[in-house]
Amino acid sequence: MFDLKPNSRPARFTSDRFWDLMSFDTLMTRQVIHLIYWSGLGITALVGFGFIGTAVGVAIREKFPFGILLGAAVLVGGALVIGILALLWRAFCELYVALFRLSDDIHALRLANDQDVNGDATR
């Protein structure tokens, strides 16, 4: 009946693609969200290396039993924080992807509805 895929239109001319981008008919968010996701994961990894450095620094600086125990606690706590941050960042990025896919689906339904209304008027 109707093809409800949002990107089902064939590319006619390069200027049409440019106009689609300028009029927000085609969104670049899906491509950009991958870059944002990997950048955020890189920042999370830097924070993780900071926790490891802190744990090693505390273990070296303090006296023998307390330094190792405190360093181990900081290392375990840091690993838990990094794991939680990575999961939250993934969920945040997936939420954005889901919202923009929903927007594409609504746009496709609107186009299908317009075609159906215009088709019924000519019958």
pTM of the model: 0.62
Q: Are 74 and 55 in contact (CB under 8 A)?
A: yes
Q: Are 101 and 4 in contact (CB under 8 A)?
A: no
* Residue 89: per-residue pLDDT: 93
Enclosing domain of residue 85: 41-101
Q: Are 95 and 37 in contact (CB under 8 A)?
A: no
Mind listing the pLDDT tens digit for each residue in 48-65? 888 888 888 878 887 778
Tokens of 77: 């706590």
CA distance 35 to 89: 13
Mind listing the pLDDT tens digit for each residue in 57-91? 878 887 778 888 888 888 888 889 899 999 999 99
Q: Are 59 and 67 in contact (CB under 8 A)?
A: yes
What value does the mean pLDDT take over residues 20-40? 78
What value does the mean pLDDT take over residues 1-24? 59
Query: Does any domain span residue 90?
Result: yes
Query: Does any domain span residue 23?
Result: no
Query: Does any domain span residue 32?
Result: no
Query: Does any domain span residue 15?
Result: no
Query: Does any domain span residue 73?
Result: yes
The total number of structural domains in the chain stands at 1
C-alpha angle 2-110-101 in degrees, rounded to nearest 5: 90
Query: Does any domain span residue 56?
Result: yes
Query: Does any domain span residue 8?
Result: no
Intra-chain end-to-end CA distance of the chain, in Å: 17
